[in-house]
Amino acid sequence: MAAGQATPTLRRIRAVVRGRVQGVGYRAATAHEARRLGLAGWVENQPDGAVALEAAGPADAVAALVAWCGRGPPLARVAAVAVDELPAAAPPLDHPFVIRR
């Protein structure tokens, strides 16, 4: 990092996305977007039809992923995204961003 540059603020979240988000490529598209943003974490289907994810990295990149989750891939119909903030210093996440089965 060059002299005078601030260290980026790190952020870690857990989100649950509800709507038509299973069977539409939501997990794969989320993983692609998270990797593009340089985030660590995971995404997985939930038994109740939701998709859950954790993501960590620079705060602006995490915010961009949360915004993307509200839209999702073309076939998804997102009804709600619930986001919980987690301690950024929690145990490290898998890197790169992975899809959990």
Of 27, 35, 71, 77, the active-site residue reads 27
| CA 97 – CA 95 distance, rounded (Å) | 5
Please name the helix (run of DSSP H) or strand (run of DSSP E) that holds residue 82, with its range, or none. strand 77-86
Catalytic one of 14, 18, 20, 45:
45
Examine the residue annotation and report whether 77 is marked as an active-site residue of this protein.
no
Is 71 part of the annotated catalytic residue set?
A: no
- Cβ of 21: how many Cβ atoms within 10 Å? 26
DSSP string of 3-54, one letter each residue: TTPPPPPEEEEEEEEEEE-SSSSHHHHHHHHHHHTT-EEEEEE-TTS-EEEE
**Which positions are catalytic?**
27, 45
